[in-house]
Structure 1
Amino acid sequence: MVDMLKQEQDKVTLSDIASRAGVTKSTVSMVFRNKHGISQATRQRVMEIAREMKYTLFPVRQTRGKVHWGQVGFVIISKENPPLPGKLPMHYFSHMMRGCAAYAEEKGHSMVFSHLDWKQVDEGTLSAVLNRGYVDGFLCRAWISPKVKEMLQNINVPVVLMDCDRYLDGYSSVQVNNIKAMDLVVEHLVKQGAKRFATITGNMEHQNAQERLAGLQMALTRRGISLPSEGIIIESDFCDANGRSGAKKLIASGYRFDALVCQFDLMAYGAIEELCSAGIKVPDDVRVTGFDNEEFSDKLAIPLTTVETDSFQVGRLGAKLLLAQTSGENKQVLHVHSEVSLVVRQSA
């Protein structure tokens, strides 16, 4: 107990460093978090004193007065926290985070993770997370609301957007190659004899929904196949309930189709259930495809043909972009697309 008390007494604080440097505690904090408005002389003096005092949160290195903590952050923002079942592709995100962490570790960095919901964003929690310091940069996966955009613009470390709902000027990003994915889907379905296509989309405010619909239309046009408006069902989310409701609308419309392209695996699962309950056989009458190759996709009663997005590689690409920016190796804004492939199973 005595040793523990002595260790606590010997622990160096921001106030100790501030006193030695002749500055305020807030100035020391601003230096450690790379904040603007601190002179180079003050910054160097604080850093030297912190090193002399063996401050425990001292960064792993320093370049031209800028601290490097050897740590990156990953922030996911969803509507609910924890997310409701069927609302967030956790398989996709868990592999994405593993990819980020794996690349960061290879480069001598660790990763910290935060999961926030929209309510916490409104309460200012996101701002607190992004500005608490001790990270060299952030990877962010979120719906880019005006509030999120404002907060991202007010932090002083690099940010890379990870498969977000839209591009943002000035920010590098990693996205799934939706255009290529839809071409692979159409190529396979046409080879299987499909001639009349339908699709169920997710929320069309999301970039993925927009690109997947555009990619499907382009792939069909190149092959001389039309996608009539009655074959496009726009839903509000990427969940199984929307797959069911979308399939029900298609059936009720009287539009005859022999291929149904869904923008997410859960939607395809719901659509298959609705088709089967209506006496429509999958794949004999209608071939159905999904997107993302979720863990359940090969375990369904009718295993699902789907797009493999390799979210682990998405994570690695994001971490590579971010660390290139934090190191100063690359300051350009880059938009990178991950590779995709088609996993063929019984549904199509």
Structure 2
Amino acid sequence: MPAPTIATVAELAGVSTATVSRALQRPDKVQPQTRERVMAAVRATGFVPNSQARNLRSRASRTVILLVRDISNPFYLEIYKGVEEAAVEAGYKVLMGDARNDDERIQHYIDMVHARHADGLILMVGRFPEVLKAELGRLPPIVIALETFPDLSLPFVKIDNVAAAAEAVEHLVALGHRRIAHITGPMPETLAVDRLAGYRRALAAHGLAPDEALVVQGDFGLAAGRAAVRRLFETGTDFTAIFAASDQMAVGAVSELRARGLAVPDDISVVGFDDIVLADAFEPPLTTIHQPRFDIGRQAMARMIGLLAKEPGGEDVVFATRLVVRGSTGPVKSDFQLKRRRRP
């Protein structure tokens, strides 16, 4: 049975759709008897007023949702600024949602767009619910920013994670490091898989045999960096450097190394990924891969505006990254093995 519309309410109440709209938006401008007939019709039909009813002329909310993995991660601040700047220029507003790696929450925000509470969704989440993949033709306007879902034909704004990760490891190899550990993102998410592939590609380019004992899985969070270093020490494998798939994990790794009486970079070098604001404020300042997050946010919103305007789709946008060398990396030291086993 089709959902009741504003026309359904108007017919039952014996008034025009404009009167229904006015009764819902500005009830003080409608005669009490007419207003009561409209509200009775709303109750009888089960009609749910939404932004479609409140804006009959444009049938749009002029709102876009930016849905991220973890709203507490400072990585998303510059993304949001870029999205909002482009949105304001085009007469839109932006709501920010927290997916929390939860399929139901992702579905909730998609349902918000279906219900016309928002016009489109910019997704920055690590997963795309399987149930939605079977409904691609019925999805609302969606742009994927920085995440990668190879099996989805949706507009993407992204970076080359394989090349960026390889550049980070190349930097460590150039400093003389040969035993380089890697803290991955949550596997098997494509973003984490690609950064692991870049790590392995750089090792292979220099004839360095991969050692799976040096690869520890994380989740991009601070605590995962600490836990990964503890795991590396538990296995007893030697390493002189760490490449972490996020700055938060890199900061966590440095904290755990310090707790064990080790100095960064004198004993162990550490490279992160993202170049969040904390990277430059941390001590030592973090060597990391910079992503132009503000520009990425602007471009994601520009793609969304194009979708909403029914403009022909363009090619996916791939932004360049760059290595930012700071104080957390240095040349390998010959006496590292003795030092790295010290405890506080």
TM-score (structure 2 length as normaliser): 0.73
Matched, 1:10 2:10: no
Structure 2 Cα separation of the partners of residues 127 and 325 of structure 1: 16
How far is the alpha carbon of 1:341 from its aligned partner? 1.7
> Which residue of structure 2 lines up, in the alignment, with residue 57 of structure 1?
55
SS at match of 2:282: coil
Q: Check conservation: 1:163, 1:173, Cα contact below 8 A.
A: yes
| Amino acid paired to 2:328 | S
> Which residue of structure 1 lines up, in the alignment, with residue 128 of structure 2?
144
> Which residue of structure 1 lines up, in the alignment, with residue 316 of structure 2?
335
> Which residue of structure 1 lines up, in the alignment, with residue 245 of structure 2?
263
SS at match of 1:296: helix
How far is the alpha carbon of 1:177 from its aligned partner? 2.5
Q: Check conservation: 1:280, 1:286, Cα contact below 8 A.
A: yes
| Amino acid paired to 1:248 | R
| Cα gap change, 1:117 to 1:10, in 2 (>3 Å) | farther
Instruction: Select 1:171's aligned residue among 151, 154, 162.
Output: 154
Matched, 1:233 2:216: yes
SS at match of 2:169: helix
Query: How many pairs does the alignment contain?
Result: 295
SS at match of 1:90: coil
| Cα gap change, 1:117 to 1:59, in 2 (>3 Å) | farther
SS at match of 1:200: strand
Structure 1 Cα separation of the partners of residues 256 and 26 of structure 2: 65
Matched, 1:211 2:194: yes
The root-mean-square deviation of aligned C-alpha atoms, in Å, is: 3.5
| Amino acid paired to 1:304 | L
Percent sequence identity over matched residues? 25
> Which residue of structure 2 lines up, in the alignment, with residue 302 of structure 1?
284
Instruction: Select 1:181's aligned residue among 147, 164, 187.
Output: 164
Structure 2 Cα separation of the partners of residues 120 and 194 of structure 1: 41
How far is the alpha carbon of 1:280 from its aligned partner? 3.1
How far is the alpha carbon of 1:160 from its aligned partner? 0.9
Farther off after superposition, 305-314 or 275-284: 275-284
Q: Check conservation: 1:178, 1:211, Cα contact below 8 A.
A: yes
Structure 2 residues not aligned, in runs of 5+: 1-24, 39-43, 330-344
How far is the alpha carbon of 1:183 from its aligned partner? 2.8
| Cα gap change, 1:145 to 1:217, in 2 (>3 Å) | same
Superposition map of 1:1-348 within 5 A: 8-10=27-29, 57-60=55-58, 69=60, 71-76=62-67, 78=69, 90-117=73-100, 121=104, 125-133=108-116, 135-142=118-125, 143-147=127-131, 149=133, 154-155=138-139, 157-164=140-147, 166-235=149-218, 237-331=219-313, 334-348=315-329
Q: Check conservation: 2:143, 2:154, Cα contact below 8 A.
A: yes
How far is the alpha carbon of 1:58 from its aligned partner? 3.7
Structure 2 Cα separation of the partners of residues 119 and 230 of structure 1: 30
SS at match of 2:313: coil
> Which residue of structure 1 lines up, in the alignment, with residue 342 of structure 2?
none
Structure 1 residues not aligned, in runs of 5+: 1-5, 34-54, 61-66
Structure 2 Cα separation of the partners of residues 227 and 11 of structure 1: 75
Structure 1 Cα separation of the partners of residues 115 and 101 of structure 2: 19
TM-score (structure 1 length as normaliser): 0.72
How far is the alpha carbon of 1:221 from its aligned partner? 1.8
SS at match of 1:318: helix
| Amino acid paired to 2:115 | R
Q: Check conservation: 2:112, 2:118, Cα contact below 8 A.
A: no
1:168-201: CA deviation from partner (whole Å, max 9, x where unpaired): 4221122232123213212322332222211111
Structure 2 Cα separation of the partners of residues 77 and 187 of structure 1: 30
How far is the alpha carbon of 1:26 from its aligned partner? 9.2
SS at match of 1:298: helix
